[in-house]
Chain A
Amino acid sequence: MFPLLILSPLIILAALGAVWMARPVHAALLLALALALNAVLYLLLGADFIGLVQFMVYVGAVAVLIVFSLLITRQDDEAEELARRPKSFVTGLVCTLPVLGVLLYVVSQTQTGKQQTETVPQVPLKELGITLFNSHSPAVLAVAVLLTAVMIGAALFARETKSKQP
Chain B
Amino acid sequence: MTPLATLLTLSSMLFTLGLFAVLTRRNAILILVGIELMLNAANINFIAFWRYGPPDPQLAGPMFVMFSIAIAAAEAAVGLAIILMVFRHTRSTDLDKLDSLHG
Contact = CB atoms under 8 A, between A and B. Distances in A.
A57 B83 CA distance: 20
A166 to B, nearest CB: 12
Contacts of A28: 29-30, 33
Contact of A72 (B16, B33, B71, B84): B84
A1 B3 contact: yes
Contact of B70 (A38, A66, A89, A143): A143
A19 to B, nearest CB: 4
Interface in A104-133: 104, 107-108, 110, 112-113, 115-117, 120-121, 123, 127-128, 131-132
A79 interface: no
Contacts of B2: 112-113, 116
Chain B contact surface mostly: helix
Interface string B35-77: 0110010011001101111110011011101110111111011
Contacts of A104: 9, 12
Contacts of A81: 26-27
Contacts of A69: 29, 80, 83-84
Contacts of B19: 95-96, 99
A61 B73 CA distance: 8
B72 A47 contact: no
Contact of A65 (B3, B23, B58, B80): B80
Interface string A58-69: 100110011001
B95 interface: no
Given A41-B44, A62-B73, A107-B9, A19 B78 contact: no
18 contacts: A18-B37, A19-B17, A19-B20, A19-B37, A24-B30, A27-B33, A38-B44, A47-B62, A50-B66, A77-B94, A81-B26, A88-B23, A103-B16, A104-B12, A116-B3, A131-B63, A147-B74, A160-B88
Interface of B: 2-10, 12-21, 23-24, 26-27, 29-30, 32-34, 36-37, 40, 43-44, 47-48, 50-55, 58-59, 61-63, 65-67, 69-74, 76-78, 80-85, 87-88, 92-94
